[in-house]
């Protein structure tokens, strides 16, 4: 993502700049995060889905995406949406989108509804199975956590990648996927592999959820230590030197 993650964006009253497409028509005022969610929810409830089913879900969602952009909600599909809108806003938007879950085609049973929209907008489902498989392998080979987004958001991305890998029957074993996930966070969270190995008698072939759980725990501990360190530095400056 082009913008580093900023925890201040968790406040859903933060303002979204116009460069991310949050202006509507002649309205010159930017939308707050709560307004983005309200407009998105209203669009979902008002969208005509009477004739939609599993067979025409993708074309129907293309119409939905077009309406999103017309309503100034294209910001939800941007690559840097999390750094601008905050993870809580994206999480809520994804949960709103699950209103359409009964129309999801077989194999597209994702808990991250917003990612489905992003993939449709990117043309992922317009490609041949061969090209999709190639892209999946490329994504695995470049999988790396740089810390510019929250660990939770990264885990969501990984879950979606695992689901797509299984859906398209890519020749990649679950064990290899697990090793790749662990390796992808090794630079920032080198303790993840050691913890998993220690807890499972030296084995790394554990449930995916176990890996996600350890990554989340380690990331929270790292954040806690960073906050404590910053606090102690501030406290040290406030304490007058003893002469």
pLDDT, one tens digit per residue, over 1-45 is 333 333 333 343 343 433 344 433 333 247 888 999 999 999 999
Q: Percentage of the chain surpassing pLDDT 90?
A: 39
**Domain segments of the chain as ranges:** 1-126, 127-243
> pLDDT grade, residue 239 (50/70/90)?
low
* CB atoms near residue 178 (< 10 Å): 19
| pLDDT surpassing 90 at residue 209 | yes
Q: Percentage helix, strand, coil, to 5, in the chain?
A: 65, 0, 35
| pLDDT surpassing 90 at residue 158 | yes
Residues 203 and 197 sit within 8 Å (Cβ to Cβ): yes
| pLDDT surpassing 70 at residue 236 | no
Label each residue of 8-33 as H, E or C. HHHCCCCECCHHHCCCCCCCCCCCEH
Residues 12 and 90 sit within 8 Å (Cβ to Cβ): no
pLDDT, one tens digit per residue, over 87-123 is 899 999 999 999 998 888 876 656 778 888 888 888 8
* CB atoms near residue 207 (< 10 Å): 11
Task: For residues 172-187, give the mean pLDDT.
Answer: 93
- Say which residue, 227 or 193, is predicted with more confidence: 193
pLDDT, one tens digit per residue, over 43-92 is 999 999 888 888 889 899 999 999 999 999 999 998 788 888 888 999 99
Q: Among residues 193, 226, 42, which one has the least CA distance to residue 31?
A: 42
């Amino acid at each position: 993502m082009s913008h580093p993650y900023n925890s201040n964006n968790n406040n859903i009253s933060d303002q979204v700049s116009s460069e991310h497409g949050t202006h509507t028509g002649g309205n010159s005022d930017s939308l707050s995060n709560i307004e983005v969610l309200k407009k998105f929810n209203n669009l979902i409830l008002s969208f005509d889905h009477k004739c939609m089913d599993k067979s025409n879900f993708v074309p129907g969602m293309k119409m939905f995406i077009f309406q999103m952009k017309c309503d100034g909600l294209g910001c939800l599909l941007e690559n840097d949406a999390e750094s601008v809108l905050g993870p809580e806003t994206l999480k809520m938007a994804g949960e709103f989108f699950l209103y359409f879950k009964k129309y999801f085609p077989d194999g597209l049973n994702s808990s991250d509804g917003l990612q489905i929209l992003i993939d449709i907008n990117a043309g992922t489902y317009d490609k041949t199975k061969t090209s999709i498989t190639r892209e999946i392998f490329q994504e695995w080979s470049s999988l790396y956590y740089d810390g510019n987004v929250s660990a939770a958001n990264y885990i969501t991305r990984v879950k979606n990648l695992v689901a797509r890998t299984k859906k398209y029957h890519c020749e990649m074993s679950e064990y290899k996927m697990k090793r790749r996930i662990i390796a992808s966070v090794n630079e920032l969270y080198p303790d993840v592999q050691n913890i998993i190995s220690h807890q499972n008698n030296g084995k790394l072939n554990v449930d995916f959820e176990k890996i996600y759980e350890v990554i989340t725990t380690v990331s929270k501990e790292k954040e806690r230590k960073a906050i404590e360190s910053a606090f102690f530095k501030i406290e040290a400056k406030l304490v007058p030197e003893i002469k």
